[in-house]
Structure 1
Amino acid sequence: MKKTVSVIGVPMDLGQGRRGVDMGPYAIRYASLKERIERLGLTVNDQGNINVPTAETHDIDNQKLKYLPEVTRVSEDLAAKVADVMADGHFPIILGGDHSIAIGSIAGVAQHVKKLGVIWFDAHGDMNTEDTTPSGNIHGMPLACCIGIGNETLVNIGGYAPKLKPENVVIVGARSIDPEERELIRAHNITCFTMHEIDKLGIAKVMEEAIRIASAGTDGIHLSLDLDSIDPDMAPGVGTPVLGGVTYREGHLAMEMLFQSDKVVSCDLVEVNPILDEQNKTARTAVDLVCSLLGESTM
């Protein structure tokens, strides 16, 4: 684990249908993110926020790719920022905002970690394209973009594609996948551990396999942690909650195992929506989980 953590906020709500997720970075910071990480003996450099346009000041030109020019610009800015902090030898934690920010996060990380694996903690597949999307919201497309599927502009953020090989991508916690997404996941042989597998095998076995797959032949793992992967009882403040998710304790064990693997090189925390939350509960859960990822333990 790097000794310095760089925090980058991305108050993005253009890729999502419900407003409020743009306040996620503020809520996570307010939940004592910096102070908690510093207690672990790590240095925290808060890089502030990437500038994100306000939805009301822009029109939607394409209902299948809502706010495409604006999401593209933010993704390019974020990719450059992430690449900069990694060049300094820092561990980037990117605070969303909706999950479309992962397009820029991964583009930046992959500039330094050429063979990158990804563990995608999410209730959803995020494997839609403009041809399959039921909503036109880009936060349902980032994983597809990162493996080189979908709109050419989004796929080529950072000037190259693909960023990921499907065989090194693992989805964990899925329980709401669109039919055409399911076909894309199967067609590209992406490993997907649904809640069925977590219930049947246990989170420890699932994470052992996830880490093995994401690290096979790679130089590091990016964790993309959507808070809707966690059951709504501990993470109610998300735009697309789905019952029956990863429990609080399962989430901690998963993060602890990732820390013990010594493979994680970067992380994004997404979809925290304070407007829908209960006393900042979801942001506090996010901070608890990322601290386990960074090595916090009982003993």
Structure 2
Amino acid sequence: MDSPNVELVSALASLYESSAYSDLTITVGARRYQVHKAIVCSRSEFLAGCMRNPLQESQSGVIDLSEDDPDAVEHMVNYFYHLDYLTKPSTRRTSQRSSQPVSPLSPRLSSRTQPKKFNLAMVEDPLMAMASAANAAPNLLTPPADYQENHFETDLSAKLPDTPMADQDEQDPFETVQTEQEADVEKPNLILHAKVYEIAERYGIPGLKTLARKKFGDQLQLHLTSTEFPEACQEVYESTVDSDRGLRDIVIQTFRANPDLSLRKDVEQVIRETPGLAFELFRMANGLPVFS
């Protein structure tokens, strides 16, 4: 049985998907979202103001947000009905492992975390192995005196591991398969989270603003080396005012914890182009309060 929270979120999601009882339309470019005044206006000060005042929006029932980022608007609408946006999917490895059947007849394969492909170069043909062993075997009637000391040790000891599984553990004939799903790792969405934070501030949606801040902070730690990192820092300082420390403090703390970031050429270029960021990093480097 679903909990009350799950029941409520499911009902909201159903309303959004079916557009049943919708009485307001939000547009951004060619995108149109059929929403409900009772749901969106009670969550956004800006949208509520549009409906209270005798403006064009209140008369037509259409609010045009074409000046905003289309993706940010879409995630804002999703938040109204799902209490989340851009939900992080389970990792490819986890989903693949959970869906992979485990055979009791192949314990070595089932103990691996990834599917393997068979490397034929590592497998010895049984008939060839028997022929090779027959050619290499000494004459039992007249064995050479130094055969066991030289030829046998040189030939077979190189092929046989010290223990039955030692050589296989070192180089298994099953090699890792780089499937398309495994290669498709999660991409950074730092700039997107910064834009969602901005639109939440602009339209007075405190819950979405808090959520975007958390998502931005979590992803920033995962994608410090990405090319999107410096652009996201620039987006933060160009889309927020000095007194809004939500994302700015995260950026400054990241530079404080990772001083080598300033040595990157792409980061240096963004610092040169972003006076607000450069000024706060200068104060941080000199032990001064970043913001007073």
Q: Point out the structure with the larger helix share.
A: 2
* TM-score normalised by structure 2 residue count: 0.25
- Higher Rg of the two aligned structures: 2
Q: Point out the structure with the larger strand share.
A: 1
